[in-house]
Structure 1
């Protein structure tokens, strides 16, 4: 093959390769369009009473998703609060969360397209609790496990009940339980398990 033929062949290869790439659709970010698996997901918080006695409690997720635009929406069912003590569960439902008026807490966030997998990073989100909305941030870690997308907190998230108008209820619970104190601040941990949503 002469030099001219080699150049012509190379140009043809470049053009064909470029055409092939132009017909390929851009890949969707790995965290777009997922449905929360509520039963497999977890939400817990640590409360402290009398200054140094810490206990873990849980709340179940009601539903959640990450839509095709990367918007995260989660709902927590506050009626499912579980402290392992039934009377305390009832007091938290009725006095603290007032579930008759505020049965759920909502979390929302607009996810960035450049979020990495397997690397901790900060996510800003909005927490809607007890009729009050507050902007917050969490250090999270995203990973894929089989066909699932799993999001966990890399560090506990600090939530202050005073920011959501819960301090009067916390004071009332302190008196009812005959305690010296119940901290207004709690540390939150979570695990979100998503499966790909049907188009």
Structure 2
């Protein structure tokens, strides 16, 4: 039996509605997507230079963060988790530089374009300009940088700094703390410009 024109149009409208709902749900899920920082695969390092020529790389053991469904990315850094591979130096930095009793955390925040993330295929890499707000010791500074974003499997992303971000201790009133560390360690100098690099992996919620 031949399908009538009215039946054909009816079916066409039905499938169009179903397709519209499916597409709508897909975009809705993308819009509502959020990610959490994977601490096991994320790293934050900083470099110090003492006595002009001695360079050392340090890190933080504990960082946490997320990207919410509005594209707001936040990474919190536990300053008490500083790791310089020398215990007495860790304690001095926590007490004399960071003053972790009063300032336990630093934070990074940025606005991320979700269209960029949602449009990437697994293995694809993009260079993304980013303005990062760094909050440290009750001071905030905006930092313009570029990061490399790699789409991983299962909706995850890896974000890497493309070049070190230079933190000036004077902008956060940490210069006195640096001088105190220099004096207690009997050093000739400690550089007050600190290069920072990061690798963050975000897993979907």
TM-score (norm: length of structure 1): 0.84
Indicate which of 119, 143, 163 corresponds to 1:136: 143
State the shift of 1:39 in Å. Answer: 2.7
Instruction: Give the 3 Å change call, closer, same or farther, for CA 30–182 of structure 1 in structure 2.
Output: farther
Checking the alignment, whether the CA contact within 8 Å between 1:31 and 1:66 is kept in structure 2 is no
Where is the helix percentage greater, Structure 1 or Structure 2? 2
For residues 143 and 150 of structure 2, the distance between their equivalents in structure 1, rounded to whole angstroms, comes to: 22
Q: Which residue of 1 aligns with 2:194?
A: 186
Q: Distance in 2 between matches of 1:128 and 1:102?
A: 11
Q: Distance in 2 between matches of 1:111 and 1:128?
A: 18
Counterpart-to-counterpart distance in 2, 1:87 and 1:30: 47
Displacement of 1:22: 3.9
CA RMSD of aligned residues (A): 2.3
Structure 2 residues not aligned, in runs of 5+: none
1:87-117 Cα distance to aligned partner (Å, 9 max, x none): 1100000000000001111111111244465
Structure 1 outlier segments of 4+, above 3 Å:
15-23, 26-32, 113-117
> For residue 51 of structure 2, what is the aligned residue in structure 1?
50
- Do the aligned partners of 2:31 and 2:69 also contact (CA within 8 Å) in 1? no
CA distance in 2, matches of 1:29, 1:121: 19
- The alignment status of 1:92 with 2:99, answered yes or no, reads no
Distance in structure 1 (CA, Å) of the matches to 2:56 and 2:32: 33
1:124 is the counterpart of 2:131: yes
Query: 2: distance between equivalents of 1:45 and 1:171?
Result: 18
- SS, match of residue 81 in structure 2: strand
In the aligned structure 2, how far is the partner of 1:115 from the partner of 1:180? Answer: 47
Residues 40 and 54 (structure 1), Cα distance of their counterparts in 2 relative to 1, 3 Å cut: same
When normalised by structure 2's length, the TM-score is 0.81
Note if contact 2:105-2:136 (Cα within 8 Å) is conserved in structure 1: yes
Which residue is 2:169 aligned to? 161
Q: 2:41 is paired with a residue of what secondary structure? A: coil
How many corresponding residue pairs? 186
Deviation at 1:179, TM superposition (A): 1.0
**Structure 1: gaps (5+ residues):** 1-7
Single out whichever of 25-34 and 133-142 deviates more from structure 2. Answer: 25-34
Q: 1:109 and 1:31, CA in 2 relative to 1: closer, same or farther beyond 3 A? A: farther
**CA 1:51–1:31 in 2, change beyond 3 Å: closer, same or farther?**
farther
